[in-house]
């Protein structure tokens, strides 16, 4: 029997006012409905904001230790359901269990982390410029946080937005992506079971044009955090800032891995293949460009093609290496980028098509293009699928020029045995995240995450204490005793 899941508003599970619903299909087998959700309207979203605003003062006044205890209890509830949540992500979003498992664990760890950080995140005592005086700073919550989250990391990204918002005393309204809302539903269930007061978290599913618009423009929403495509992110940024809200957007990437002449080719191919084809290339930090020294170029292309061709494709629950893309539109977009690359003169080394899989679904082969010019579309625009462009360069300086010659700046990596070169790369590359001898994907939860250029609003970082900074404002108090 298909699960029918409701919104969560003011502590109650509710149906959409209009009575409408939508089905989420399994991207590996589109004949299978995973669950049915509420196709909510502006009225539902406005009710959620009203509930969050009404609960804001009491939640802000709740001791940090009590807020942390609720987050810790919610983490325990998620941990108890870990296997179920892994399978849910595989069925809704398409990741393999091996890819979904660390994401679920990340969400659990995030809630445990911010449960403890709630205790020691407050303010400072500062020396004053006179006798019998001192100065303190206090951190206070922004108020109501409007969160809009993507489908590609359906539990980790909502967790790293919700947990710091709640830890610092904000109430939350959240719209999960319609392709994979189940993970946010599970987080909200865990918070409800942990005893979160009514109205502190409110979840509404439905179209971004209605629900998302309310959550990013409503007068009673004080801060907006968005992760998604660049086009939508710029729209959200403009809409939120027009009303003077605090805004944080994390968007696309065109992430390079630079392979220089000191690198081990086999190691480099392993690093690049993992970054390019893992999670079916559906990560904002995925490696989409390999920028390779000309002396290693042919050998590298052969090695990365060998890895691409060795990967099995199919439904995640079948024990494969690569699952499907998340939707028909995502698949069509990837195939269109492959066609453009071919028409512009890049050489298709492997992949480029759809495998014949009995289950149906949105499958595409891991794809490698060589002879890619830096100005080609495949070297400039984000395909968001398992597609790798391999470019040749003559030296380090050219590698940096090519790496930086895009509108994005999220993640970048280098494979090299030259330490000085690695350190220079960290200085020179235009990216918010730099990896040395590692794939461009993968993050630690306790350090800041974000990009530059068109990858981010360049306002506040996410994760770690930086994630708490976004949801708070600082008050300075002067005392004369």
Please list the active-site residues: 284
Q: How far is 372 from 402, CA to CA, in rounded Å?
A: 11
Q: How far is 38 from 21, CA to CA, in rounded Å?
A: 4
Q: How far is 434 from 440, CA to CA, in rounded Å?
A: 8
Which neighbouring-strand residues pair with 3?
35
- Give the C-alpha distances (Å, rounded to integers) separating 363 from 95, 174, 258, 305, 353: 12, 30, 28, 18, 9
397 Cβ neighbours under 8 A, 6+ residues apart:
none
Name all contacts of 456-461 with Cβ < 8 Å and 24+ positions apart.
Answer: 456/249, 456/250, 456/251, 456/409, 456/410, 456/432, 457/233, 457/237, 457/247, 457/248, 457/249, 457/250, 459/246, 459/247, 459/248, 459/249, 460/246, 460/248, 461/432
Please report where in the chains the tokens 């003077």 appear, as a residue: 244
Rounded to the nearest 5°, which phi and psi values hold at 140? -125, 145
Rounded to the nearest 5°, which phi and psi values hold at 392? -100, 140
Which neighbouring-strand residues pair with 145?
172, 223
Q: How far is 465 from 463, CA to CA, in rounded Å?
A: 7
Using only C-alpha atoms, what is the Rg of the chain?
A: 23
Q: How far is 10 from 52, CA to CA, in rounded Å?
A: 7
Q: How far is 84 from 367, CA to CA, in rounded Å?
A: 32
Q: Pull the structure tokens for residue 468.
A: 């708490």
């Amino acid at each position: 029997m298909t699960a029918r899941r409701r919104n969560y508003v003011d502590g109650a599970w509710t149906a959409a006012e209009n009575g409408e619903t939508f089905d989420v299909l399994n991207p590996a087998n589109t004949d299978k409905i995973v669950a049915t959700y509420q196709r909510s309207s502006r009225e539902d979203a406005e009710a959620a904001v009203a509930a969050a605003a009404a609960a804001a003062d009491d939640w802000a006044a709740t001791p940090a230790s009590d807020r942390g205890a609720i987050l810790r209890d919610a983490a325990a509830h998620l941990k108890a359901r870990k296997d179920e949540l892994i399978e849910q992500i595989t069925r809704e979003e398409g990741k393999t269990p091996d890819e979904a498992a660390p994401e679920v664990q990340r969400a659990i760890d995030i809630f445990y982390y911010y449960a403890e950080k709630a205790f020691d995140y407050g303010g400072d005592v500062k020396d004053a410029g006179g006798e019998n005086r001192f100065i303190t700073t206090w951190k206070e919550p922004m108020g109501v946080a409007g969160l809009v989250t993507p489908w590609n990391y359906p539990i980790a990204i909502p967790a790293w937005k919700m947990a710091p918002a709640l830890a610092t005393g904000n109430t939350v309204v959240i719209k999960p992506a319609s392709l994979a809302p189940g993970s946010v539903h599970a987080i909200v269930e865990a918070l409800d079971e942990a005893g979160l007061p009514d109205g502190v978290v409110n979840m509404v599913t439905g179209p971004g044009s209605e629900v998302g618009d309310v959550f990013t423009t409503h007068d009673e929403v004080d801060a907006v955090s968005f992760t998604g495509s660049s086009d939508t992110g710029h729209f959200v940024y403009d809409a939120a800032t027009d009303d003077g809200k605090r805004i944080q957007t994390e968007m696309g990437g065109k992430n390079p891995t630079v392979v220089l002449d000191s690198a081990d080719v086999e190691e480099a191919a392993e690093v690049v293949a993992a970054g390019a084809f893992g999670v079916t290339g559906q990560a904002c930090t995925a490696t989409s460009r390999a920028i390779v020294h000309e002396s290693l170029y042919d050998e590298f292309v052969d090695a990365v093609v060998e890895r691409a061709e060795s990967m099995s494709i199919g439904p995640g629950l079948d024990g494969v290496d690569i699952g499907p893309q998340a939707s028909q539109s995502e698949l069509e977009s990837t195939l269109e980028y492959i066609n453009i690359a071919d028409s512009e003169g890049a050489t298709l080394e492997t992949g480029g098509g759809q495998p014949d899989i009995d289950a149906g679904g949105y499958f595409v082969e891991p794809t490698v293009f060589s002879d890619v010019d830096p100005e080609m579309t495949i070297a400039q625009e984000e395909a968001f699928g398992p597609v790798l462009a391999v470019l040749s360069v003559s030296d380090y300086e050219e590698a940096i020029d090519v790496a930086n010659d895009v509108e994005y700046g999220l993640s970048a990596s280098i494979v090299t045995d030259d330490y000085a070169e690695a350190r220079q790369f960290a200085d020179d590359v235009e990216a918010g995240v730099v990896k040395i001898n590692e794939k461009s994907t993968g993050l630690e939860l306790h350090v800041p995450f974000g990009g530059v250029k068109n990858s981010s609003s360049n306002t506040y970082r996410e994760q770690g204490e930086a994630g708490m900074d976004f949801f708070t404002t600082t008050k300075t108090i002067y005392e004369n005793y």
